[in-house]
Amino acid sequence: MEISYIGEYLKNNHIITDKQLKRALETQKKGLEVGRRVRLGQLLVDMGYCTEEQVARALAHISGVPFISLNDLSIDKNAVGLLSAELAAQYQALPIRFNGQYLQVAMLNPSDVIAVDDLRILTGYDIEPVVIADSDLKAAIHNLSLSEVKGESNGRDEDYENIKSTAYSFLYGNSSMDVVDYDDMDIKQDMGSEKPAVQLANQIFVQAVHASASDIHIEPQEKDMRVRFRIDGVMQEAMRQPKEIHPSLVSRLKVMGNMDIAERRIPQDGRMSIKVDDKIIDVRVASLPTAYGEKLTMRLLERNSKLITLEELGFPKNQLGHYRDIIAFPYGFILVTGPTGSGKSTTLYSTLVELNSEDRNIITIEDPIERRLEGLNQIQVNTRAGMTFASGLRSILRSDPDIIMVGEIRDEETARIAVESALTGHLVLSTLHTNDAAGAVTRLNDMGIEPYLTASSLVGVVAQRLVRVLCPLCKSSYTLTRHEILNSVPDFPMGDDEDSINLYKPKGCLHCNYTGYKGRMGIFEVLRMTDEIEHLILNRGSAFEIKDRAIGCGMVPLRQDGLDKVRRGITSLEECLRVIV
C-alpha cells in the first residue's frame, strides 16, 4: 500500500499541502533512481510535513484496521514471546496483546496478507493486524532483541554463537561495521560467516552506536561476562554473555586497538576508528587487569556528528550574554571547569566554532582530538614523542596564533605558559577539574601561579554539569505544596505568592527505553572578572569569598540554574540533586 494513497489521504484531510506532497514524491523518485527506497509516509515525517502518528492513523484508516498508541497500553509479554526478534524484524511485525480469540499484531504493512497468513501459522492464533507509529514498532522490536541477547525472553537460550543481525537490518537499515584504520581488517556485520568473538564485537559496537552510548564497559564476572553502556551519563546493562567468550573477545578488541594481546598483567591504552553505517567513530580503548580477567573500557567519539551551538548547550539567556562578552575579549585566559564527563570539551568546541573566522589563527592542543573542526589547526598530544601540553604550547606560541585552546591544565608548567600567553596578547581557552567557578582561582594558586598573574590574565570562568532531560513524550506532572518543596529544598525558586508548584518526573516509554529521560543538557555558572574579584584574588581570598562576590555581581550559581530547569520541566528534581549537591 504505498503509496500515494497515504499522501492523498493526508492532503485531503488538510494535514499536508499539495505542494508538500509533490515535493516528497519528487524526493522519493530521486532516491529510487539511486537505489534508495524510502516509504512516502516516513519521508513526509523526515521532511517535517506531518507527524508519525498522523501517518500511522492514515495507514490504519486506508487499511481498515485499528490504530493503537503504545503509550496508552502495556505490551503483553506472553504475546510478544510468541515471536522471536529475528522473525519480528523479518516480518516487520510484533504481537502486542490478545483480543479474545485473536492475537493483535502491530504491522508495518497491515495489508500484507502473506505475512498475516505466515504469522497465523507461526503463532497458532488468528491474527488481527493493528497499526502503531513506526518508531514505536522499531523500539519494541529493538527492546525484544536486547532481551533475547540478555537471555530474558521467555527462557530462550540465546548464546553468542546464535547472534543475529536481522533485527538491526530492519531497525537501522543494512547496519555494518568496518574498521577503517587498518588495511588488513575489513569487518562487515555478516553474522553467519564470522567467528563468535568477531560477531559479538561487531554487535556490541553497532548496538552501542545506535543507543547513542558514550562508553562501552566489558567486565568479566565470576560466572559470566557483563557488557554495559553509558547512556546519557548513566550506566545501563546491555547484555550478559558466557564467560568462555571473554578471552577471545578481549583479544579481538585489543588487536583492533593495536594493543599487545600477550600482555594481560598491566593496563594498556589503544585506539581505533570504526564505521557503523555512515558514521565514523573514533574509539579509545583502555584495559585494566581485574580479579576475573581484563576489563575493557571504550570511549566512543563520533567524528562528524553535528556540533551543538552555544544556544543549544543550555546557558540561561543572561548568562549566555555574559559568556559571549567574555569570549569577545581579544586576549585573556578563559577556563571551563567541572568533573570528567561534564561536557567541558563540547563547550570549548562550540566556542571555537563561534570564534572561527578567516582573519583568526586558531590552534589547539588536545588529548585526544575529539572533534575535527574545519579551519582549525589541531594538535594531538603524544607523550612518547615528547609532545606534551607544555611543550606543544611553547611550539604553538612560535606559530603566530590569535586563539589557543589547551585541552586540559594538568600541571604548573602548562598553567604558567597558558597564563603568560594570555598576558602577551593571546586568547587562551582551557579546562580545569574543579567543583565550581570560584574554585578555579584557588586551584591555580595551589598549582603555584602567583595571584597577580591570575588576576591580570583571567577574564572569566565557566563551571558546568550535565543533567538528563525528561522524555517529552512520557514525563508526568505532580504538585508539591510550598511547605513540601521548601522543606526538602529550602533554596527552590518560588514566588512569595505561590502556595504550590507543578513539577515533572520521569515515567518511561518506548522512545526513552523506559528510563524517563532522553538526552542531556548543561547547567552553568559564569564568573566574570570585576575589579572587586581581582582585588580578592590579589589578597588570596577564599573560593567562598570569590563566589559570594561573583553572585553579588550577577552570577547565577550552578544549583540555581539546575533548580530553574527543574521548575521549567526540563529535568526532574531528583536528577538535579543527583548531579549537584
pLDDT category at 298 given cuts 50, 70, 90 is very high
Least confident of 99-113, 213-227, 532-546: 99-113
What integer pLDDT is reported at residue 259 of this predicted model?
Answer: 92
Q: Which residue has the cell 557488557?
A: 227
466: left (phi over 0), alpha (psi -120 to 50) or beta: beta
User: What length does the chain have?
Assistant: 581
The edge-to-edge listing of strands for the beta sheet with 215-220 is 177-179, 268-276, 279-290, 293-302, 215-220, 224-231, 234-242
Measured N-to-C along each axis, helices 134-149 and 52-63 cross at an angle, to the nearest 10 degrees, of 100
Higher confidence at residue 325 or residue 6?
325
Mean per-residue pLDDT of the chain = 86
pLDDT for 159 equals 40
Report pTM: 0.71
The residues pairing with 424 across neighbouring beta strands, listed in sequence order, are none
Q: pLDDT tens across 8-25, in order?
A: 888 888 888 888 888 888
Strand segments, DSSP code E, in 83-163 are: 93-99, 102-107, 126-130
In this structure, the strands spanning 234-242 and 224-231 are antiparallel
DSSP 306: P
Contact between residue 257 and residue 271 where contact means Cβ atoms under 8 Å apart:
yes
CB-side neighbour CA atoms (13 Å) of 235: 10
List CB contacts of 210: < 8 A, sequence separation 6 or more: 142, 168, 171, 172, 175, 276
**For the segment 72-93, what is each residue's pLDDT rounded down to a tens digit?**
667 788 888 888 877 888 888 9
As a whole number of angstroms, the distance between CA 517 and CA 548 comes to 34
H-state helical runs in 164-268: 166-172, 196-210, 246-256
State which amino acid sits at residue 286: A
Cell numbers of 366, please?
588536545
Q: Are 529 and 322 a contacting pair, CB within 8 Å?
A: no
Residue 333: is its pLDDT beyond 70? yes
User: How many whole angstroms separate alpha carbon 575 and alpha carbon 370?
Assistant: 27
Q: Between 449 and 175, where is the model more confident?
A: 449
The answer to whether residues 577 and 566 touch, using CB atoms and an 8 Å cutoff, is no
Mean pLDDT along residues 436-443? 94
Q: At what angle do helices 4-12 and 52-63 cross, to 10 degrees?
A: 110
| pLDDT for position 189 | 42
What is the spatial distance between Cα 67 and Cα 402, in angstroms, rounded to a whole number?
Answer: 60
For the residues 206-232, what does the mean pLDDT come to? 91
Q: Poorest-confidence range of 32-36, 242-246, 293-297, 518-522?
A: 32-36
Instruction: Give the tens place of pLDDT for each residue, 100-159.
Output: 889 999 998 888 889 899 999 988 899 999 998 888 888 788 777 666 555 543 433 444
Residues 6+ apart with CB under 8 A from 532: 549, 553
Q: According to the model, what pLDDT value does residue 174 have?
A: 44
**Does 230 or 69 have the greater pLDDT score?**
230
Residue 15 is given by DSSP the state S
Q: Give residue 217's pLDDT band: very low, low, confident or very high (50, 70, 90).
A: very high
pLDDT in the model for residue 185: 40
Please, which pLDDT band fits residue 33 given cuts at 50, 70 and 90? confident
Q: What is the CA radius of gyration of the chain?
A: 27
Q: Is the pLDDT of residue 517 over 50?
A: yes
CA distance 258 to 301: 18
Distance in angstroms (rounded) separating the CA atoms of residues 462 and 528: 9
Query: Positive or negative, the Cα torsion across 388, 391, 395, 396?
Result: positive
User: How far, in Å, CA of 464 to CA of 459, rounded?
Assistant: 17
Cell 493493528 locates to 130
Judge contact between 129 and 110, C-beta under 8 A. Answer: yes
Long-range contacts of residues 90-94, Cβ cutoff 8 Å, at least 24 apart: 90/166, 90/170, 91/115, 91/118, 91/119, 92/137, 92/170, 93/119, 93/129, 94/137, 94/140, 94/141, 94/144
